[in-house]
Amino acid sequence: ELVTCGPSATPRSGAAQGDADIIHNGAVAFTGDKIVGVGPTEEIMHRFRGEDTDLIDATGKTVTPGLVDAHTHLIWAGWRDEEYEMRLKGATYLEIMQAGGGIMSTVTATRLAAEDELKRLAKVRLERMLAHGTTTVEIKSGYGLSVEDELKSLRAIRSLNEELQEAGSGPRIAATFLGAHAIPAEYKGKENDYIDLICNEMLPQVAAESLAEWCDAFCDIRAFDAEQTRRILSTAKSLGLGTRLHANEFARVGAVQVAAEMGCSSADHLLVLEPEDIEALMVAGTIAVLLPGTPLGLGLGSYAPARALIEAGVPVALATDCNPGTCPSENLVLMISLACSQMKMTPAEAIVAATINSAYSLNRGEILGSLEVGKLADIVLWDAPNHRHLAYHFGVNLAEMVFVGGRRLQI
Ligand code: NIG
Ligand code: FE
């Protein structure tokens, strides 16, 4: 099966999300870093096979676009496995956070780590993502929470990106500034001073050094309220950054409405949604980035209402949320599987979500995310007889070959 997810001139929503445009006995041809042909194998062989053509026989297997992970927090130091065990014994994520653990414990460890160390740690995680078929990764800062440490985190992302691009050896990276991930301890009781710091110092420096394409904020209970989020995102927009938002993960504090009103590219998490929230996302054309690894990691037992979103015509994307607190997994295929078993998405909907729709959420839908002539040759060959196996045959790695820009990378 050649799962093309194309042509897709826009994110796929509603019934179109459920059609991954699969060609049975299909083939894809690429030259340099671009796709030059997609179609039935016989036709592609006839048109493109020359004397020096490298031929990869995918008989009995499945080929998809490279997966796009649109929401990760890869830049961190220090693990939180003790917290995990505390939660297993009954403590909740928000209780641990209020007691000074949670995000703040990762902030302490990340502040102590040098830029090079953060880069080295993130590289290992990126390699693991690539090995599971992910070829584009969004990476957020957000465990620095001071001017110096947020810039250090973003510089680590940039330097990693440059290194991988030069070596032609890793996934593509999109950087996001998430200074509004938590109120750092030293700003307790003077939250608005921290918002000032973000708007007056952090964001202008991030923009001046072009350290991030996107700005995100954690708009939720015990995090940033709607008003503070509005201020941060509008400052980011005025500096030329795109916007995306952690919305409705734990409580409804108006995050979805802020995302819709600010024209955010995506609203992410969406675990607690009312029909009016879904309506707002639909009207605004905001992509819903769902992160089923997070409720799995937290043991919540309830997932985002993917079916209601799809039925309302909201384009749905999938991501790992890879972070040390709620979901340390690098495996986006696992999220495809959870999307099906827990959120009742079809395998085709979930694959569309993790490829073309994620690509659109990162403003890359016109250059990658589907197998279409002219797009970047980011392609995965899976040891799977058809696309359903990506969801159905879960918990193991089925990725067999991964190509980024036409180059087969070592996995
Ligand atoms: O997306 N919600 C905020 N951020 C992360 C968790 C970060 C952490 O616990 O370290 C999330 O789930
Ligand atoms: Fe997150």
Q: What is the reported pLDDT for 339?
A: 99
Our answer on whether the CB atom of 106 is closer than 6 Å to any ligand 1 atom is yes
φ/ψ of 92, rounded to 5, equals -100, 160
* Closest ligand 1 atom to 220 CA: 2
User: What ligand 1 atom has the least distance to the C-alpha of 250?
Assistant: 2
Instruction: Tell me how far the alpha carbon of residue 73 lies from the centroid of ligand 2, in angstroms.
Output: 6
What is the block-wise mean pLDDT of the chain (411 residues), using blocks of 10 residues? 98 98 98 98 97 96 99 98 96 90 96 98 98 98 98 98 93 98 96 98 98 98 97 98 98 98 98 98 98 97 97 98 98 98 99 99 98 98 98 98 97 94
* Residue 321 Cβ < 6 Å to ligand 1: yes
Residues 6+ away with beta carbon under 8 Å from 186: none
CA distance 294 to 329: 9
With beta carbons less than 8 A apart as the criterion, state whether 227 and 192 touch: no
Rounded CA gap, 350 and 346, in Å? 6
Rounded Cα–Cα distance for residues 195 and 236 (Å): 12
CA of residue 249 to ligand 2 center, whole Å: 9
Instruction: Give the distance (Å) from ligand 2 centre to CA of residue 348.
Output: 24
Q: Assess whether the C-beta atom of 248 lies below 6 angstroms from ligand 1.
A: no
- The residue nearest atom 8 of ligand 1, judged by CA position, is 325
Q: Is the dihedral of CA 229, 234, 240, 245 positive or negative?
A: positive
pLDDT at residue 99, rounded to an integer? 87
C-beta 328 within 6 A of ligand 1: no
Q: Is the CB of 325 under 6 A from ligand 1?
A: yes
Q: Give me the pLDDT at residue 98, please.
A: 87
pLDDT for residue 127: 97
Q: What is the pLDDT of residue 312?
A: 98
Cα angle value 50/53/55 (rounded, 5°)? 125
Do 255 and 245 contact (CB within 8 A), yes or no?
Answer: yes
Residue with tokens 């990340």: 110
Strands 172-180 and 214-219: parallel
Ligand 1 proximity of 320 Cβ (cutoff 6 Å)? no
Cβ within 8 Å of residue 324, ≥6 positions away: 73, 76, 78, 79, 80, 106
Atom 9, ligand 1: residue with shortest CA distance? 325
CA of 320 to the centre of ligand 2 (A): 9
- Among 82, 103, 221, 269, the mutation site with the greatest number of ligand 1 atoms within 8 A of its Cβ is 103
pLDDT at 206: 98
Supply the pLDDT for residue 46.
97
User: Distance from the CA of 70 to the center of ligand 2, in angstroms?
Assistant: 10
Q: pTM for the whole thing?
A: 0.98
Two structure tokens written together for 211? 């350290």
